């Protein structure tokens, strides 16, 4: 097991069906940095160091690194950079997911920030789309009136996104793209955004702690964080990987690594420890026959999460208390 961990630390290779069972990872007291081909900037949060030195056990397969970028994942998406806007192609599932995630983001932002302007429900809001890919989600958000910045470490994807939105004068003004990682951006744009969207991204990241703390940095207090990802259950393995990738081939084979999925409880715990409170979690399901997504009670396969950055900074010793109060009555969500 140790050798496997070392291999992952060194190369971050594609993990396939070999790693089906959740691995409990004991965090070592030393943080080993992974040098990758792309530049990495350390985004250390002193709270993070404290937690690690407390020996807090977390269910996380990822190696401890200080960058969110996983080079193998980047290579995967590089190869497909031109296919983003082919509506019948490999990313069709993401296009149809817009029917759920755009209203989810729009309505939750409406609740939190109110209506600015009719016809442009999200006017005046700055949104960061992390892992924007070809801009599939950035464009509708831009059309709704928000100022969107889409970032992705894969430069070809960013170029595809820029080209696609360059034809439409509405989008050109409102949607911008940058090829960089979240850590790089977090240094410049402290508290710069009203909302951060990370849709179908956390299952491709190298390190979630860095991700969460960078999100916390770039968000204004009271800002929203939207995440959609897959749950880490047997059901998500069967449907999300075996059925989707191998049997039905609606998602290209090798896109997802079950080991990197994270359950809503773990994600919630992680976010709470970085100063967010999770406001909503909803389950989603894809129907391959109709090609449409719909909401569902159970979060067993896919889910969407909305968290809000707390306005005041919680103290480190409050973290323990919060994580113990996860299952408060009054939070009507079902985990399965």
Partner 1 sequence: VKIIDFSFMPKIIRILSKDHRDEESSTSENQLFDIIISGGGMVGTAMACSLGLDPNLAGKKILLLEAGHKKEMDRVPETYSTRVSSISPGSATLLSLGAWDHIANMRCKPYNKMQVWDACSDALITFDKDNLQDEMAYIVENDVIVAALTKQLQTLSDHVKVQYRTKVVKYTWPRPYHVSESIPWVQVTLANGKTLQTKLLIGADGPNSMVRREAGIPTVKWNYDQSAVVAVLHLSESTENNVAWQRFLPTGPIAMLPLSDTESSLVWSTSHQHAEELLQLDEESFVDAINSAFWSNENHSEMVETAGSLFRTALSVLMPDSGSARQLPPSVAGIGPKSRVMFPLGMGHATEYIRHRVAIIGDAAHRVHPLAGQGANLGFGDVAYLTKVLSQAAFNGKDLGKSMQHLLEFETERQRHNLPMMAAIDLMKRLYSTNAAPMVLLRTFGLQATNALPPLKEQIMAYASK
Residues of each annotated binding site: 101, 131, 152, 199-200, 203-204
Q: Residue 156 or residue 189: which is nearer to partner 1 going by CB?
A: 156
Q: Residue 1 or residue 118: which is nearer to partner 1 going by CB?
A: 118
Q: Could you give the CA distance from residue 238 to residue 244 in angstroms, rounded to a whole number?
A: 8
Residue 254 CB, nearest approach to partner 1 (Å): 25
Structure tokens that stand for 42 in this block: 């350390």
Nearest to 99 by CA among 284, 239, 297, 223: 284
Using the rule CB under 8 A, give the single segment among 63-71, 137-145, 176-184, 294-302 that binds partner 1: 137-145
CB atoms within 10 A of CB 120: 15
Q: What distances in angstroms separate CA 1 from CA 7, 19, 20, one per listed residue?
A: 10, 11, 14
Q: Could you give the CA distance from residue 146 to residue 31 in angstroms, rounded to a whole number?
A: 38
Query: x/- site string to partner 1, residues 70 to 99, per CB under 8 A?
Result: ---------------xxx----------xx
Q: Residue 69 or residue 102: which is nearer to partner 1 going by CB?
A: 102
128 bridge partner residues: 149, 196
284 bridge partner residues: 295, 302
Q: 127 and 194 in contact (C-beta within 8 Å)?
A: yes
CA-atom Rg of the chain in angstroms: 19
Residue 38 CB, nearest approach to partner 1 (Å): 26
- Binding test (CB under 8 A) with partner 1, winner from 97, 125, 128, 141: 141
Residue 118 CB, nearest approach to partner 1 (Å): 5
- Binding test (CB under 8 A) with partner 1, winner from 135, 140, 223, 240: 140
Q: Could you give the CA distance from residue 267 to residue 219 in angstroms, rounded to a whole number?
A: 18
Q: Is 297 in the site for partner 1 (CB under 8 A)?
A: no
Query: x/- site string to partner 1, residues 149 to 178, per CB under 8 A?
Result: --------------xx-xxxx--xx-----
Q: 238 and 296 in contact (C-beta within 8 Å)?
A: no
Strand 175-178 with 302-309, pairing = unpaired
Q: Is 119 in the site for partner 1 (CB under 8 A)?
A: yes
- How many residues in the shown chain lie near partner 1 by CB under 8 A? 27
Using the rule CB under 8 A, give the single segment among 60-68, 143-151, 232-240, 264-272 that binds partner 1: 143-151
Helix (H, G, I), strand (E, B) or coil at 89: coil
Give the footprint of partner 1 on this chain (CB under 8 A): 85-87, 98-99, 102-103, 106, 118-121, 139-145, 163-164, 166-169, 172-173
């Amino acid at each position: 097991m140790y050798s496997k961990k070392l291999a992952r630390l060194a190369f971050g290779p594609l993990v396939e069906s070999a790693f089906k069972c959740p691995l409990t990872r004991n965090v070592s007291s030393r943080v080993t940095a992974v040098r990758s081909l792309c530049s990495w900037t350390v985004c250390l949060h002193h709270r993070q160091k404290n937690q690690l030195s407390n020996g807090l056990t977390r269910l996380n397969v990822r190696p401890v690194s200080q960058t969110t970028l996983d080079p193998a994942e980047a290579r995967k998406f590089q190869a497909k950079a031109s296919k983003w806007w082919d509506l019948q192609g490999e990313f069709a599932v993401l296009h149809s997911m817009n029917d759920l995630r755009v209203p989810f983001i729009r309505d939750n932002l409406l609740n939190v920030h109110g209506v600015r302007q009719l016809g442009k429900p999200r006017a005046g809001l700055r949104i960061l789309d992390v892992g924007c890919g070809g801009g599939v989600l950035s464009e509708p958000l831009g059309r709704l009136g928000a100022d969107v910045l889409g970032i992705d470490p894969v430069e070809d994807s960013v170029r595809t996104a820029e080209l696609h939105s360059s034809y439409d004068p509405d989008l050109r003004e409102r949607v911008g793209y940058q090829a960089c990682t979240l850590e790089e951006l977090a240094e410049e744009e402290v508290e710069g955004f009203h909302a951060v969207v990370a849709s179908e991204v956390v299952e491709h990241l190298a390190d979630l702690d860095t991700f969460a703390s960078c999100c916390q940095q770039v968000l204004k207090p009271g800002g929203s964080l939207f995440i959609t990802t897959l749950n880490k259950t047997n059901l998500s393995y069967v449907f999300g990987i075996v059925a989707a990738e191998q049997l039905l081939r609606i998602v290209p084979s090798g896109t997802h690594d079950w080991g990197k999925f994270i359950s809503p409880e773990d994600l919630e715990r992680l976010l709470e420890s970085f100063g967010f409170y999770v406001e909503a979690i909803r389950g989603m399901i894809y129907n391959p026959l109709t090609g449409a997504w719909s909401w569902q009670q159970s979060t067993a396969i896919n889910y969407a999460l909305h968290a809000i950055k707390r306005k005041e900074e919680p103290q480190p010793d409050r973290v323990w208390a919060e994580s113990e109060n996860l299952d408060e009555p009054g939070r009507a969500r079902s985990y399965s």
